[in-house]
Amino acid sequence: MGTAVDDVAAAEFHEFFERHHGELSRLAYLLTGDSDAADDLAADALVAMWHQWDRVRAADHPAAYARGVVTNLARSRIRSLVRERRRVALFWGQRSERVDDPDVPAVLDVREALRRLPFRKRACVVLRHAFDMSEKETAVTLGISVGTVKSQTSRGIAELEKLLGAAGPLRVLGGDPPRGGETAAAAAGHAGRRN
């Protein structure tokens, strides 16, 4: 039988899980581009948090801590997949000749464009524009400086706009023409809404 303290901790964690699981899964999806992996990464992050729940719940911003865990797990997953692909290519004696062509057709989906960004730029763009986090919150989540958040976000948005080309993010997403011009950043926010 658990103690009253254990029961309170379990109830707090359950409430945290219910409130943040969807958001963490969405973050993982935007970072990896893989809906199956997104739920797994969110679940793995929450399991890790449960094992350290006393420390997590005492933190100033437990949700920011959770986003950081998801971000780190996504980074590890991407690195692992890249290493595995390299091993397979070496095994078969083939080299991947895929090059990300900056002249992407106008029909390119924003999610695909996000996947093409280097991880740190993608994470900054997603956290800033799809999750409406401040530069400071993004910096804390990713464990980087505010200046790095600013530069990575700016460069990431510029790359998204270049990847999406003249068609613009809204045309790619099948939305209405922008009123006053919607940026790739705003489209990244729309792309984060999973169907």
Q: Highest-confidence range of 1-10, 30-39, 92-101, 142-151, by mean pLDDT?
A: 142-151
CATH of domain 1-98: 1.10.1740
Cβ-proximal residues to 123 (8 Å cutoff; 6+ apart), any chain: 31, 71, 74, 142, 152
For the segment 93-107, the average pLDDT, to the nearest whole number, is 40
pLDDT score of 131 more than 50: yes
Supply the pLDDT for residue 164: 74
> So what's the pLDDT on residue 100?
46
Is there a contact between 87 and 97 (Cβ–Cβ < 8 Å)? no
Residue 104: pLDDT over 80: no
Residue 101 is given by DSSP the state -
Q: What is the pTM of this model?
A: 0.51
101, pLDDT greater than 80:
no
Question: Whose CA is closest to 141, among 9, 15, 31, 14?
Answer: 31
Q: Given this model, what pLDDT does residue 190 score?
A: 47
Q: How far is Cα 83 from Cα 66, in angstroms, rounded to an integer?
A: 26
- Residue 31 pLDDT more than 80? yes
> What is the rounded average pLDDT for all residues in the chain?
75
Tell whether the model's pLDDT for residue 49 goes beyond 80.
Answer: yes
pLDDT of res. 87: 61
Residue 166, both tokens: 């003249």
DSSP per-residue codes, 165-194 = GGGHHHHHHT-PPPSS---HHHHHHHHTS-
The tokens describing 123, both together, are 């994470």
Cα separation of the two ends of the chain? 42
Secondary-structure class of domain 101-195 per CATH: mainly alpha
Which is more confident, 108 or 20?
20
Q: Give me the residue spans of the domains in the chain.
A: 1-98, 101-195
| Comparison of pLDDT for 31 and 105, the residue scoring more | 31
Average pLDDT over residues 85-113: 50
Query: Mean pLDDT over residues 166-174, rounded?
Result: 39
Residue-wise pLDDT for 55-94, tens only, equals 888 888 888 889 999 998 988 888 777 666 666 555 444 4
Model confidence band, residue 152 (pLDDT cutoffs 50, 70, 90): very high
